[in-house]
A and B are shown apart, each in its own frame.
Chain A
Amino acid sequence: MNKLPLLPRLALTAALALLALVMAVPVVLTFTNSLMTEREIGDNYDLLGQMTNAAAGHKDDFVNLKLIPDWLSFGQYDEVLVQTPKFLHMYWNSAGMVAPIIAGQTAAASLAAYALSKLRFRGRDKLFMVYLMTMLMPFQVTLVPNYMVIERLGLMNSEAAIVLPGIFGAFGVFMLRQFMTGIPYTYMEAAKIDGAGHLTIFTRVILPLVKPGIAALTVLLFADYWNMVEQPLIFLQDAAKQPLSIYLAQINQDARGVGFAASVLYMTPMVLLFLYAESYFIEGIQLSGIKG
């Protein structure tokens, strides 16, 4: 790390802090707006989506993205949590799909990643290439055949139509394989000399070392699937089964007043998990990225 004299060091810190603040603005605004009264939200954002003519020069023709509420109010939260039972129901839907995806993909992917990084067999690199290519594909690429497979399995309009493809997503395999590639063979050889089989090596040697990688994968999968839009739109026709991401888009349009509180509640678990696991998360991402 380069030593910096005091003044440039101060200037650099200040510049980066300013950038970080700007980046935090959308999140901060969502939070402060969630504490406004519905009336204030209405007053501020009534003009959204309308093409009013500003040529007359009325300043009031613009909406007013406001940082500080006039009155602190928990009315939006009351509306979302107490008056709208649907919201908690959707929350539950999201959790019910995301949790099994994370558990399943982490398990299946760590096993496969072990084979792809630590075992020697023919066609290993080609197989890995196939996983890599799949990871690069957007959801729409396998949309039609996937739809047919899911229909044939009788899973249409059920959570399993989202969960099962999620479990076998290629990203986990890719990331954990990168991570495991960085673990030296010597660790395994010591266990081998002691007569350990692959299952023992995997559970006793590799898995404990991969913990940061799994933590990072968990956070990334959570962020990704908590956020899903494409899959539920196609595979869940039943509105009552939709996850929060879809429902929230509707709230934002129909009832802007509660949208902010709903948004805050929606991002809370994600942000808490991130802050809780941050050091692991960062370490995990870093170790997966160094080795090619």
Chain B
Amino acid sequence: MSRLRFRRLRGDGPAALLFLAPSAAGFAVFYAIPFAMGLAYSFTDQTIHGSFAGLRNYEALLASGSFRKAAANSLLFTGAGVPLLIAVSLLLALLLNRQIWLRNVLQTAFVLPLVVPVASVVMIWQIFFDWNGTLNAWMHALHGGRTDWLKSDWSMDVLILMYLWKNIGYDMILFLAGLQSIPKDYYETALIEGAGRLRRLFHITLVYLTPTMFFVLLISIVNSFKVFRETYLLAGDYPYDRIYMLQHYMNNMFVNLDIQKLTAAAVLMVGCMIVLAAGLLTAERRFRDFTDS
């Protein structure tokens, strides 16, 4: 059986090679080879004619205060933003999946921010969150204190808010599709057996939404890195400490020509992503075995 399968697997090899060639060639030149080079640089003491430096770059990196700050901020942003985004958009999808009016109009309105370029609404964010901005005017009217939202510990919350604003629509659409692909008779059977609302949510909806959840999770993580644009356009190269992200750190290392630290940081980041992705895929496989049996 396994030999037969093996032969079948090799069967499309030549055709696959042709189909993959354009993408794989460009991919190798612009991503794979650069990454391998980066990996090599991270172990040398200088980029050109460097000699092997062992783990010294990594030690220096981990000892650097600004790296630790940036890594902690990025971790906090993704760690808080992604689950929050998923929860809110799932809730929205569940609500939109009921019989309501204006369904299509609402859906369009929620997705619209996804296609609005960051640079074109940045000015509104600035006006809203500025020291003299609208939010402070409201706080003042309510006799609250004045805060410089983007230059205080609130800045992280502001960023998370922007991330939610932009990505809710995308995740919501994905969840809606997932919801609609769950067969209706599962719910009917559950109803006949007397399952309550929560039971149906946890034992049917969330279980059969799991494959969608993996996809949403991946996309949301990818999009959480793009928040760098908002931060950059709002606050430049060196924003307030709380929103100084890994990307800022890496960009600044690049500008300062500290290539070794930058590549070491890149390798560490890739390492984390591999662990995360591998964990996710294992979980997905387990889940599939579980639902198949």
- Chain B 162-205 near chain A by CB (<8 Å), digits 1 or 0: 00010010100110111001000000000000000000000000
Instruction: Tell me if B20 is interfacial: C-beta within 8 Å of chain A.
Output: yes
Are A65 and B20 CB-contacts (below 8 A) given A50-B132, A285-B173, A290-B181?
no
Interface size class of A (residues with CB under 8 A): 35 or more
Bound together, the chains give a CA A287 to CA B174 distance in angstroms of: 8
Interface size class of B (residues with CB under 8 A): 35 or more
On whether the beta carbons of B277 and A112 are closer than 8 Å, the reply is no
With both chains docked as a complex, state the minimum distance between the C-beta of A118 and any C-beta of chain B, in angstroms: 8
Bound together, the chains give a CA A114 to CA B266 distance in angstroms of: 31
Q: Which of B53-61, B79-87, B152-160, B245-253 contacts A (4 or more CB under 8 A)?
A: B245-253
Instruction: Tell me if A156 is interfacial: C-beta within 8 Å of chain B.
Output: no
> In the assembled complex, which residues on chain B have CB atoms less than 8 Å from the CB atom of A2?
98-99
- Chain A 108-140 near chain B by CB (<8 Å), digits 1 or 0: 110110111001111010010111111111111
Are A140 and B247 CB-contacts (below 8 A) given A12-B98, A16-B106, A132-B277?
yes
**Which chain B residue has the least Cβ–Cβ distance from A274?**
B115
Bound together, the chains give a CA A48 to CA B132 distance in angstroms of: 6
> In the assembled complex, which residues on chain A have CB atoms less than 8 Å from the CB atom of B92?
16, 19
Listed residue (B22, B27, B222, B284) with the most chain A CB atoms within 10 angstroms of its CB: B27
On whether the beta carbons of A16 and B26 are closer than 8 Å, the reply is no
**Which chain B residue has the least Cβ–Cβ distance from A131?**
B27
Are A112 and B19 CB-contacts (below 8 A) given A16-B96, A20-B110, A164-B26?
yes
> In the assembled complex, which residues on chain A have CB atoms less than 8 Å from the CB atom of B115?
219, 222-223, 267, 270-271, 273-274
Instruction: Tell me if A7 is interfacial: C-beta within 8 Å of chain B.
Output: no
On whether the beta carbons of A120 and B11 are closer than 8 Å, the reply is yes
> In the assembled complex, which residues on chain B have CB atoms less than 8 Å from the CB atom of A274?
111-112, 115
Instruction: Tell me if B23 is interfacial: C-beta within 8 Å of chain A.
Output: yes
> In the assembled complex, which residues on chain B have CB atoms less than 8 Å from the CB atom of A165?
30-31
With both chains docked as a complex, state the minimum distance between the C-beta of A231 and any C-beta of chain B, in angstroms: 11
On whether the beta carbons of B100 and A12 are closer than 8 Å, the reply is yes
Instruction: Tell me if B232 is interfacial: C-beta within 8 Å of chain A.
Output: yes
Instruction: Tell me if A29 is interfacial: C-beta within 8 Å of chain B.
Output: yes
With both chains docked as a complex, state the minimum distance between the C-beta of B91 and any C-beta of chain A, in angstroms: 11
> In the assembled complex, which residues on chain B have CB atoms less than 8 Å from the CB atom of A47?
130, 132
Instruction: Tell me if B286 is interfacial: C-beta within 8 Å of chain A.
Output: no
Instruction: Tell me if A3 is interfacial: C-beta within 8 Å of chain B.
Output: yes
Are A144 and B98 CB-contacts (below 8 A) given A287-B177, A292-B214?
no
On whether the beta carbons of B109 and A23 are closer than 8 Å, the reply is yes
On whether the beta carbons of B29 and A252 are closer than 8 Å, the reply is no
> In the assembled complex, which residues on chain B have CB atoms less than 8 Å from the CB atom of A229?
118-119, 228-229, 232-233
> In the assembled complex, which residues on chain B have CB atoms less than 8 Å from the CB atom of A223?
114-115, 117
Instruction: Tell me if A280 is interfacial: C-beta within 8 Å of chain B.
Output: no
On whether the beta carbons of A248 and B37 are closer than 8 Å, the reply is no
With both chains docked as a complex, state the minimum distance between the C-beta of B257 and any C-beta of chain A, in angstroms: 10
Instruction: Tell me if B67 is interfacial: C-beta within 8 Å of chain A.
Output: no
> In the assembled complex, which residues on chain A have CB atoms less than 8 Å from the CB atom of B99?
1-4, 9
Instruction: Tell me if B102 is interfacial: C-beta within 8 Å of chain A.
Output: yes
> In the assembled complex, which residues on chain A have CB atoms less than 8 Å from the CB atom of B11?
120-121
On whether the beta carbons of A249 and B119 are closer than 8 Å, the reply is yes
Instruction: Tell me if B207 is interfacial: C-beta within 8 Å of chain A.
Output: no
**Which chain B residue has the least Cβ–Cβ distance from A246?**
B119
From B23, B109, B121, B222, A26 is in contact (CB under 8 Å) with: B121
**Which chain B residue has the least Cβ–Cβ distance from A150?**
B30
Instruction: Tell me if A286 is interfacial: C-beta within 8 Å of chain B.
Output: yes
With both chains docked as a complex, state the minimum distance between the C-beta of A93 and any C-beta of chain B, in angstroms: 14
Instruction: Tell me if A282 is interfacial: C-beta within 8 Å of chain B.
Output: yes
Bound together, the chains give a CA A267 to CA B131 distance in angstroms of: 27
> In the assembled complex, which residues on chain A have CB atoms less than 8 Å from the CB atom of B36?
145
**Which chain B residue has the least Cβ–Cβ distance from A12?**
B100
Listed residue (A21, A108, A141, A267) with the most chain B CB atoms within 10 angstroms of its CB: A141
Instruction: Tell me if B75 is interfacial: C-beta within 8 Å of chain A.
Output: no
> In the assembled complex, which residues on chain B have CB atoms less than 8 Å from the CB atom of A87?
none
Instruction: Tell me if B263 is interfacial: C-beta within 8 Å of chain A.
Output: yes
Bound together, the chains give a CA A104 to CA B178 distance in angstroms of: 30
Bound together, the chains give a CA A288 to CA B29 distance in angstroms of: 27
Interface residues of B in 134-165 (CB under 8 A from A): 134, 136-137, 140, 146, 148, 165
> In the assembled complex, which residues on chain A have CB atoms less than 8 Å from the CB atom of B240?
none
With both chains docked as a complex, state the minimum distance between the C-beta of A35 and any C-beta of chain B, in angstroms: 15
- Chain B 212-224 near chain A by CB (<8 Å), digits 1 or 0: 1011101001100
Bound together, the chains give a CA A20 to CA B104 distance in angstroms of: 12
Bound together, the chains give a CA A289 to CA B215 distance in angstroms of: 6
On whether the beta carbons of B170 and A285 are closer than 8 Å, the reply is yes
Instruction: Tell me if A24 is interfacial: C-beta within 8 Å of chain B.
Output: yes
Which 4 residue pairs are nearest across A and B when measured between Cβ atoms?
A: A145-B34, A286-B177, A168-B26, A112-B23
* 30 contacting pairs across A/B (C-beta < 8 A): A12-B98, A20-B109, A21-B109, A54-B146, A62-B140, A63-B132, A63-B133, A108-B26, A111-B20, A115-B15, A116-B20, A120-B8, A120-B9, A121-B11, A130-B32, A143-B266, A145-B35, A145-B38, A146-B30, A147-B254, A149-B34, A168-B23, A168-B29, A168-B30, A173-B23, A198-B12, A223-B114, A286-B173, A287-B177, A292-B211
